[in-house]
Structure 1
Amino acid sequence: MHDLDRNEDRLRGTYDFPFEFHHIDETHPRYVMSYHWHVEYEIIRILEGSLTVTLDEKSFTATAGDIIFVHSGILHSGIPEDCVYQCIVFDGNVFLKNNSVCAGYMQKIIHQEILIYHHFTPKYVDICATVNSLFDALWKKPSGYELSVLGQFYHFFGLIFGNHYYLESVTRARRDYKRILQLKQVLDFIEHNYASPLTLQQLSASVSMSPKYFCRFFSEMTHQTPMDYLNHQRIEQACYQLSTTDDSITEIAYRNGFNDLSYFIRTFKKYKGITPGKYKKA
């Protein structure tokens, strides 16, 4: 069973241990990381290949050995190339509980008074060693791994502050900030309505734009057309249901916004390279 859940507004891990780990390769239904955002923080490590990452509107390529830090609320996506990567999504507030000594440091991160560097290459030996130990603890889960995870996280943040691996927060340009908020708004609309037969008119209306302007805006922000993004989200959810339920392909197609089974099969094969039936048997 794949560790997949579309909903980005949910509890990560448990209340007492809010850390969520994912190992992702080409067999994972969400191998391609579509544009999304969440209030939690995320750390990504690249094990093999490369991942073209976009944070808000800025893109860069991370390769094996690199570490990526994603701040709370940042729109992000990743396009893999022969890539194996892992993610840890976590609630920063866990480091404020019963620890007044560290609270002042963590509040600077949570309140975005500072912005931790988003890309660490292997030349940051201290950061990479610490983060790799952190990932290995969550991946292999030896006895007492929870202690190791918390310890490595505190060490990570200690290195950040001790070596000034951050920028002083700068105010985002008003136009850019508005565009990002508008994109978040339409992504949220898709997240909650993808199972309905959405039209381009409905998508553009969700952010009060004309269809023509909306298409240009959406493509500039995501490098995808609105309908391509929508269909990709539907196929991702269909993959999850094919992997985790005994429901028929027809039921899954209709549940995810496809009113034509033939069109669903063609679209599925376009994104996954195989038919839904073969995917279900794999």
Structure 2
Amino acid sequence: MSRWKALPTELDPRARQLVIRLRRLKDHSGLSIRQLAAKTGYSPKSWERYLGGRTLPPREAVEALARIAGDDDPTRLLALHEVAAEGWAAPRQSPHHLATDPAPESEPEPEPEPGMELLSAGPERPTSPGRSLLIALVAGAVTLVLAVSSAVLITARIMNDGNDDSPNGTGTGTGSATAATAPLAAPAAPSSAPPRLSYTCRLKRVDGLWYAGNSRTREDTVAYGNNGVEVAEAQCLLRRAGISPGGIDGDFGPLTFGAVKALQKRAGLHVDGMVGPQTWKALRG
């Protein structure tokens, strides 16, 4: 039996049940990821996403896996796929909230076979020590400059008040008390929020197919919650087709999900809100 990695903690329980069932069917078939891809027509990269809980597989991929594994009546599996699709389309919950939900199954999840990279939505970018140090130094320098500037202004205010409060220049000292008790303005903390990625649409027709300059994929499946260049490519092609996906930001959110379903309905495809091989064909055609 293959050794599988644990599924993402934020994965919806309904989707988790489907992925566990698909992993068992894959183990029962005795096929590797590449052999499974060759028999189903979906790429190894797509199957790694499906079996890693990163992307909801299309209905056709589920049927193909059931047929290869010897399941003559995949009705129950397809019903589980429909339920999982509803959970996948819902906004992702936080790990703290998911901890309160009942566990989908009592038995432990299988781990991935050696060499397979079935990971979650992508590795987190490690914070560079040099960048953190630079931010700390800049913040300290800004604070020091503001403190020195405030001290100079207070001193100048005291001297001016002492010289100007009376005609003979002796001063009453009231101005110095006011200046001495004035609170110092707190320096603004430097912003450490990462810049939001932006994409452009450079539409070009090559060999009868449309491309937007972000990705040339024609088979990778992207779905609700995904992000990256494939999502931006789909958003550009949806806009070219006259269906607004919202912004071209590379995030597969509710607006993009609705736009994909509208395109699938118009093209006579299975309406599941995911961009797979058939939907890419409709977008690029």
TM-score above 0.5, yes or no: no
**Relative contact order higher in (CA < 8 Å, ≥ 6 apart):** 2
TM-score scaled by structure 1? 0.22
TM-score scaled by structure 2? 0.22
- Mark the structure with the bigger radius of gyration: 2
